[in-house]
Chains A and B, each alone.
Chain A
């Protein structure tokens, strides 16, 4: 559907945000250092426009290529023994890219997830992800700054921008878990709410969406 997305630049009727297909993604990592760390699990949920597809989700635990340290084990709750028998990321990458197709990738601080995925793609001799990608955190900040005359001066503290705090603000119910799939599902619900309000603020097409939220 979104094949040749970047060539749409000159189209007269850009794709509406309510009609595009999205893959909402989240990864759990052994740490935040792109050089040293690697992916432990990937979760993803598909959306058709603002509809979350309940039956289509992707979840894979991965045998990480780097060691797991204690601090992060405590965050994501995945232990080394759990992933020992799991496939290495190489075996998962093709499945993941088939799942994403040419949909728009959505995630909270999604650049981080994409950087890690691209690193693995590159390492295994594959090409980087070409999909357009938007960051729910950026969209959130844009909405906040666009809300009223005073909100222009709004600057969120970094610790208020995490997924759970924002989800709470939008009364999305969830179990705080740091599981890649449930986090992706929370992100999808957050994005779903954004999609319902954005057209009213003039964000109607994918092009508009990328302007405010490109990862």
Chain B
């Protein structure tokens, strides 16, 4: 039981948790346990090198370094699960710091020989001590994934399955095969689709049961060649991509068959049916469900499954962006469906319009159901009367959409950023005035309020209205450094919650005592910094990861850190989703506060790295906008 306790401890703490079970056991056998009363000097600067790596089981130590003047100053604190003594053990020369027990402290100690052996045989173990954000993110994900699997049932989604594994062999026909022959081939093989090859034997299209039904319905000549009716847009997925990716594409392009390519060759085909067989509740069948609904009431029933879907996705995916991608697709579908129902109710609009979303929805970064952030841009009207008429129509439409979305579970926006608010339901020329105002007269308050609009994205209607607005304001920004300066001010004021000596800064009292706000302190600063860089560079993309991708070539700061940035962002989003999902499972409404004590040591480390990155970038922002920072 002494050994089991030690193994249990090692499993929870880096770098040991990176080792596999037999190695862990062997390590545990070689551990000893030491006790240091408070104030014991464990290692002494300039003294002999550490002869062991010590991992704190209970208590904490402070690490001191002698400054020029000869006085010791504390440079770090280490707490439970943290290790020390590694560097001087490896270097083998003098101890570089003094380590003193800050409390009564118990350590597990692993001797030098054993440590050296581990470093040789397990690169991950050594890697740990060269700690770097990107190296740990994936492992942390694995850990989180493991945790949510632990409380899930047995209904494992097989989303980690490569799509090549479930691809069915395909039957191909040349492009001049007649429709009748094609139907015969399909009947013979009992399949629902055929791949059509062009003269060069390259897949050129697909015909499916659906297409043949259309042929019969329109009484087409069955001697026509298949190339006349085949669907040309062949969406492909690589055999190594997960079924998850396949589902995402199917949802996106609204298709039911997809070609699987392996090393450039046609490997097979997968259908949504195959994917649904993989698991009971698929996002794909969920989207199909949405499509079938005709009333708001039915949508309410269908969307109740949403959180379960996200829960399943969380268990299977290692990337937050894949999950938010699917959530965005689903939410967009729901929204479009609601708008369709609304249009049927109120009739066709008097002028073309575009229904836009912004904020997290605009950035495609929604997690669990969030607030509504939407607006309507409608085409400019020839007269004041016409505008009045349009306003009347859109008022009714937007009111209905808002109420319907609330019923479905998208709560009303507290700051009233919704199309139902007359302020956010305007003809294009008014929208241009808004943006011109925000950009050329940037009071701190106005900039803060306008930020989320710079993440806007069209969802329904005439997209060109939204695009025209974007093309209007982008050049204005380039001319107004002060506007960007105000954004910079907002960014640098939101400092990450890491205090002096690496501790987390948490709420001192109230409902969230000892917690910090992961959205405010983690997601928002990254969003804000990347938005600033994107607007500087005239990039119109809205999703933070897309913006980072576009900026990595041109923007010096992003160029340097883009990998870390992507990982940090993915990590924070993932952490947030996992916590929210746990809260939902416990029957609470999801929120953004996290108690750092409840994080595993690996999570703590990774988030600390992410916060360091944020503060580094804030430093860059300060440098760039120095004269404008107040």
Query: Taking beta carbons and an 8 Å cutoff, which residues of A are in contact with B?
Result: 45, 48, 50-55, 57, 171, 173, 179, 181-182, 185, 189, 192-193, 196-197
Does B583 sit within 8 A of A, measured CB to CB? Answer: no
Closest to B26 in A: A55
With known contacts A171-B104, A173-B58, A196-B40, A55–B35 Cβ distance under 8 A: no
Cα A117 to Cα B134 in complex, Å, equals 57
CB–CB A51/B109 < 8 A? yes
Residues of B within 8 A of A185 (CB): 1-2
> Are B35 and A54 touching (Cβ within 8 A)?
no
Determine if B35 and A179 form an interchain contact, defined as CB atoms under 8 angstroms apart.
no
Contacts of A48 in B (CB 8 A): 32
B171 within 8 A of A: no
* Cα A182 to Cα B34 with chains together (Å): 17
CB interface residues, B 1-51, toward A, < 8 Å: 1-3, 6, 28-37, 40
| 8 additional contacts (CB under 8 A) given A54-B30, A189-B33, A193-B37 | A51-B34, A57-B3, A173-B58, A182-B1, A182-B2, A192-B33, A192-B34, A196-B35
B32 near A52 with CB under 8 A, answer: yes
B37 and A54 contacting across the interface, CB-CB below 8 Å: no
Q: What's the Cα separation between A48 and B35 when bound, in Å?
A: 13
A54–B31 contact, CB under 8 A?
A: yes
Report the count of interface residues on B (CB-CB < 8 A): 20
Contact of A52 among B28, B30, B33 (CB under 8 A): B33
What's the Cα separation between A50 and B28 when bound, in Å? 18
Q: Which of B32, B34, B37 has the most CB of A within 10 A?
A: B32
Complex Cα distance A185/B104, Å? 18
Q: In this assembly, does B108 line the interface, its C-beta being within 8 Å of a C-beta of chain A? A: yes
A residues less than 8 Å from B108 (CB atoms): 54
Residue from A53, A57, A192 within 8 A of B35 (CB atoms): A192
Residues of chain B within 8 A (CB-CB) of A45 are: 2
Q: How far is the CB of B398 from chain A (nearest CB, A)?
A: 60
| CB within 8 Å: A-B pair count | 51
Contacts of A181 in B (CB 8 A): 1-2
- Residues B3 and A179 in contact, CB atoms below 8 Å apart: no
30 contacts between A and B (CB under 8 A): A45-B2, A48-B32, A50-B35, A51-B32, A51-B33, A52-B33, A54-B2, A54-B3, A54-B28, A54-B29, A54-B31, A54-B32, A55-B30, A57-B3, A171-B104, A173-B58, A179-B1, A182-B2, A185-B1, A185-B2, A189-B33, A189-B35, A192-B33, A192-B34, A192-B35, A193-B35, A196-B35, A196-B37, A196-B40, A197-B37
B-chain residues with CB within 8 Å of residue A197 when the two chains form the complex: 37
The minimal Cβ–Cβ distance linking A32 to chain B, given in whole angstroms, is 25
Minimum distance in angstroms from A56 CB to a CB of chain B: 8
Complex contacts, B30 vs chain A, CB 8 Å: 54-55
A192 contact set on B, CB distance < 8 A: 33-35
- Do A55 and B29 have beta carbons less than 8 Å apart? yes
Q: Cβ of B35: which chain A residues have Cβ within 8 Å of it? A: 50, 189, 192-193, 196
B2 / chain A contacts, CB cutoff of 8 Å: 45, 54, 57, 181-182, 185
Q: How far, in Å, is B154 (CB) from chain A's closest CB?
A: 32
Q: Which of B40-69 contact A (CB under 8 A)?
A: 40, 58
- Whether A55 touches B37, Cβ cut-off 8 Å, given contacts A181-B1, A185-B2, is no
CA distance A213 to B609 in the complex (A): 51
Give the CA-CA distance A113 to B58 in the complex, in Å. Answer: 31
A45 to B32: give the CA distance in the assembly, Å.
11
A81 to chain B, nearest CB (A): 21
Measured between beta carbons, the chain A residues less than 8 angstroms from B28 are 54-55
Assembly CA distance A50 to B32 (angstroms) = 10
What is the interface of chain A mostly: helix, strand, loop, or mixed?
Answer: mixed
- CA–CA, A179 and B1, complex, Å: 10
CB-CB under 8 A from B36, the residues of chain A are 196
Which residue of chain B lies nearest to A54 when distances are taken between CB atoms in the complex? B31
| Contact between A53 and B32, CB atoms less than 8 A apart | yes
Cα-based distance from A55 to B40 in the complex (angstroms): 25
A173: B residues at CB distance < 8 A? 58
B56 smallest CB distance to A (angstroms): 14
Max count, chain B CB within 10 A of own CB: residue among A48, A52, A179, A182: A52
A60 to B3, CA, bound (A): 15
Query: Nearest-CB distance from A144 to chain B (Å)?
Result: 17
The answer to whether A50 and B34 have CB atoms under 8 Å apart is: yes
In the complex, A196→B36 CA distance in Å? Answer: 7
Q: List the B side residues contacting A53 at CB < 8 Å.
A: 32
Per-position 1/0 for B378-404, Cβ under 8 A of A = 000000000000000000000000000
Shortest distance between the CB of A197 and any CB in chain B (Å)? 7
* Closest partner residue, chain B, to A53 (CB atom): B32
In the A-B complex, the 3 residue pairs with the closest CB atoms: A55-B29, A51-B32, A54-B31
Q: Give the docked Cα–Cα distance between A177 and B43 (Å).
A: 36
CA distance A179 to B33 in the complex (A): 20
Query: Which of B33, B40, B58, B104 contacts A54 (CB under 8 A)?
Result: B33
Contact call B34/A54, Cβ cutoff below 8 A: no
CB of B43 to closest CB in A, whole Å = 16
Contact string against A for B residues 81-122, beta-carbon threshold 8 Å, 1 for contact and 0 otherwise: 000000000000000000000001010110000000000000
Q: Which residues of A contact B29 (CB under 8 A)?
A: 54-55
Nearest B residue to A197 via CB reads B37
Cβ–Cβ < 8 Å partners of A193 in chain B: 35, 37
The interface centre, meaning the residue of A48, A50, A181, A197 with most chain B CB atoms within 10 A of its CB, is A50
Q: How far is the CA of A196 from the CA of B41 in the complex (A)?
A: 12
What is the CA–CA distance of A155 and B108 in the complex, to the nearest angstrom? 35
On chain B, the residues within 8 Å of A179 by CB distance are 1
B109 smallest CB distance to A (angstroms):
7
User: Does A55 lie within 8 Å of B31, measured CB to CB?
Assistant: yes
CA distance A143 to B2 in the complex (A): 28
Within the complex, the shortest CB–CB distance from A77 to chain B, in Å, comes to 13
Considering only residues 122-161 of chain B, those with a C-beta below 8 Å from chain A are none
* Contact residues, B341-360 vs A (CB, 8 A): none
For B109, give the chain A residue with the smallest CB separation.
A51
What are the residues of chain A within 8 A of B104 when measuring CB–CB? 171
B109: chain A residues at CB < 8 Å are 51
A185 to B4, CA, bound (A): 13
Shortest CB–CB separation between residue A198 and chain B, in angstroms?
A: 11
- Measured between beta carbons, the chain B residues less than 8 angstroms from A189 are 33, 35, 106
B1 near A54: Cβ-Cβ < 8 Å: no
Residues of B with C-beta under 8 A to A182: 1-2
Q: Which residues of B contact A54 (CB under 8 A)?
A: 2-3, 6, 28-33, 108
In angstroms, Cα B58 to Cα A55, docked, is: 19
Give the residue of B3, B34, B106 whose beta carbon is less than 8 angstroms from that of A55.
B3
* Complex Cα spacing A50 to B34, Å: 7
Chain A residue nearest in CB terms to B31 = A54
Contacts of B34 in A (CB 8 A): 50-52, 192
Of all chain B residues, the one with the shortest Cβ separation from A48 is: B32
The chain B residue with its CB closest to the CB of A185 is B2
> How far apart sit A28 and B332, CA to CA, in the bound complex (Å)?
68
Please name all residues of chain A whose beta carbon is closer than 8 Å to the beta carbon of B106 when the two chains form the complex. 189
- Which residue of B1, B6, B34 has the most chain A CB atoms within 10 A of its CB atom? B1
CB contacts (< 8 Å) of A55 on chain B: these are 3, 28-31
Minimum CB distance partner of B37 in chain A: A196
Bound Cα distance from A51 to B40, whole angstroms? 15
Q: Which residue of B lies closest to A196 (CB)?
A: B37
A193 to B3, CA, bound (A): 20
* Chain A, Cβ-Cβ closest to B28: A54
**In the assembled complex, how far is the CB of residue B375 from the closest CB belonging to chain A, in whole angstroms?**
57
Q: Who on chain B is nearest to A171 by CB?
A: B104
